[in-house]
């Protein structure tokens, strides 16, 4: 699998205020989208998330988001090492993702920028 980078997941109470801070720190402009009831802003290497606690508590279980060249290749590699695919692959507003539990119990989200028409 080709790992391109990682993003840190940060749950915040006030997304607009957090975006201002992280845009200043990273020098990057936020890309905003909605996933269910959670508002998300991708700012540099950070995913800022705000929404209902019930949804955020699930998202907090995911250690990090890992950018990969292709989610399908990631699924093949994850399966080969004994990881459990928990969700996906699914299309998102910015590409595709899959959530996997590694054999050690760690949970990661893998994302690519491949758009499915």
Query: At 96, which CATH number?
Result: 3.10.180.10
In a domain, 92, yes or no: yes
Count of other CB atoms within 10 angstroms of residue 103: 10
pLDDT for the residue numbered 28: 95
Find the domain containing 28 and state its range. Answer: 3-112
Place of tokens 């992280």: 22
* pLDDT tops 70 at residue 114: no
Report the predicted TM-score, pTM, of the whole model to 2 decimal places: 0.79
In a domain, 117, yes or no: no
CA 63, 39, 32, 10 torsion: positive or negative?
A: negative
Using CB atoms within 10 A of its CB, is residue 89 exposed (0-12), middle (13-18) or buried (19+)? Answer: buried
Residues 21-70: pLDDT tens digits?
Answer: 999 999 999 999 888 899 999 999 998 999 999 999 888 999 888 999 99
Residue 66, SS3? Answer: strand
In a domain, 34, yes or no: yes
pLDDT for the residue numbered 49: 94
Strand pairing class (64-68; 84-92): unpaired
pLDDT for the residue numbered 58: 87
Contact 30, 23 (CB under 8 A): yes
Domain count along the chain? 1
Helices (H), the chain: 15-26, 53-59, 71-80
In a domain, 55, yes or no: yes
């Amino acid at each position: 699998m080709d790992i391109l980078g990682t993003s840190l997941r940060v749950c915040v109470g006030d997304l607009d205020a957090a975006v201002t801070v992280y845009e200043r720190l990273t020098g990057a402009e936020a890309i905003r989208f909605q996933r269910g009831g959670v508002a998300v802003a991708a700012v540099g290497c950070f995913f800022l998330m705000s929404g209902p606690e019930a949804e955020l508590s699930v998202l907090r279980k995911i250690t990090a988001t890992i950018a990969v060249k292709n989610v399908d290749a990631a699924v093949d590699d994850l399966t080969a090492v004994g990881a459990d695919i928990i969700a996906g692959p699914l299309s998102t507003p910015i590409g595709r993702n899959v959530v996997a539990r590694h054999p050690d119990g760690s949970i990661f989200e893998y994302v690519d920028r491949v758009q499915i028409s």
